[in-house]
Chain A
Amino acid sequence: MFVTAAYAQQSTTTEGAEAHDAAAAGEVHTETGVAHEGEAGSGVFPPFDSTHFASQLLWLAITFGLFYLLMSKVIIPRIGGILETRHDRIAQDLDEASRLKGEADAAIASYEQDLAAAKSKGHKIADDARESAKAKANADRTAVEADLAKKISAAEDRIADIKAKALADVGAIAEETATAVVKQLIGGTVTKAEITAAVKASAGN
């Protein structure tokens, strides 16, 4: 292209056309020059272009080093702290829940115990009441029985008394009857002593 430009400058014939050529050549030159500058003056594949390696390494070291420091000093302790706080809080809540459950279980157990005690006490009171009622009934019955027995014996005594009295009266009646009968039959009188002896003799039979 330099050759073309030089030729264009040296040439004197057909000025206009040559000038146009030169301008075109200049444009091409500029374009390729820009492209070459962009590719850092080499035609290599950009990622393998070693001219920027030093700069890349330096800036990677700076940026990644800074990032590493930020992560290890600020971000990781912070997120770790958040997670640990949450973990502790959950563990604490679980402990609290299990403690409350234990309390509830204890309350249930003591309630059951109270209930059982109350039941047994109730049974005892009922048994006692039944026993005392039974004892009282027995005592009343024996008292009544004793009273009755006494009354019976008194009645029996009276009956025996009356019977004895009646039996004793039987002799007198028999004597009177015998006296009357003898009087009617014989017309005479029999002594009272004889009749009494006779009655006694027949009664003895």
Chain B
Amino acid sequence: MSNDPTHQFLVNKIVPIEIGGMDFSFTNASLFMVATVGVAAGFLYLTTSQRGLIPTRMQSVSEMSYEFIASMLREGAGSGGMKFFPMVFSLFMFILTANLLGMMPYFFTVTSQIIVTFALALFVIGTVVLYGFYKHGFGFLKLFVPHGVPGVLLPLVVAIEVISFLSRPISLSVRLFANMLAGHITLKVFAGFVTSLSALGAIGIGGAILPLIMTVAITGLEFLVCFLQAYVFAVLTCMYLNDAVHPGSH
């Protein structure tokens, strides 16, 4: 295994598939997307299969994640936003499971690929825009015109609002991608110090203790980041959906 910290992000073809000159190969990234879906859906399906009136521990976990997202969406986008519950719940569970699976050694992190997070962010923003225009027509554009702004400042404020709206898919995707990428690189670099220092003999092994402690600490931190980034993605999705449900209310 190479000591290159970016080696873990390499995409390798497992089953080459080419359609119309485009490369649609089944890669290790695809494999871990399938694994993410399998693990998340399997967990939710199996833990709730008994439909217990008094939940088991695992069933409580599924119910808690359901209620967690439901209350987040209700607070963020009101009861009108609840029709997007399957979307927010799927996004949260998918990202969370992908992040956590990526923490396993030798596992590929799906969310460390900018194209994946960007596609998810575009899915969110696309939903916001489509639903906003579908529901409110051109009234959706009131989103860019806040209330109570003096007429002189209005063009400037509208320009800022438009730019901030356009930057949303970028910030949403880069935030998740960069967090996962940076975390895994840091982890790899510190773990690499452990192996390279311990190759230097007794003193090196003594010196390797510090990066080892760091590696353990960063692993703990990364698990927190895995959850936090999935949460942040879901919360921001709720806020953006709120703009589609209630434009011009902010």
Contact = CB atoms under 8 A, between A and B. Distances in A.
B33 interface: yes
B48 interface: yes
A55 B23 contact: yes
Chain B CB count within 10 A is highest, among A50, A58, A63, A74, for A63
Given A54-B22, A63-B34, A82-B51, A47 B85 contact: no
Contact of A57 (B12, B119, B177): B119
Interface in B108-128: 110, 112-116, 119-120, 123
B89 interface: yes
Contacts of A59: 24, 26-27, 29-30, 33-34
A83 interface: yes
B214 interface: no
A36 to B, nearest CB: 12
Interface string B18-43: 00001111110110011011001100
Contact of B9 (A46, A50, A60, A66): A46
Contacts, number: 130
Contact of A56 (B67, B116, B123): B116
Contacts of B9: 45-47
A59 B108 CA distance: 15
Contacts of B63: 79, 82-83
B51 A49 contact: no
Nearest to A50: B115
B86 A72 contact: yes
6 contacts: A51-B23, A56-B113, A63-B33, A63-B37, A64-B37, A79-B62
Interface of B: 6-7, 9-12, 17, 22-27, 29-30, 33-34, 36-37, 40-41, 44-45, 48, 51-53, 55, 59, 62-63, 66-67, 85-87, 89-90, 93-94, 110, 112-116, 119-120, 123, 177, 181
Q: Which 9 A-B pairs have the closest CB atoms?
A: A72-B86, A59-B30, A46-B9, A63-B33, A52-B11, A67-B37, A79-B66, A71-B90, A68-B90
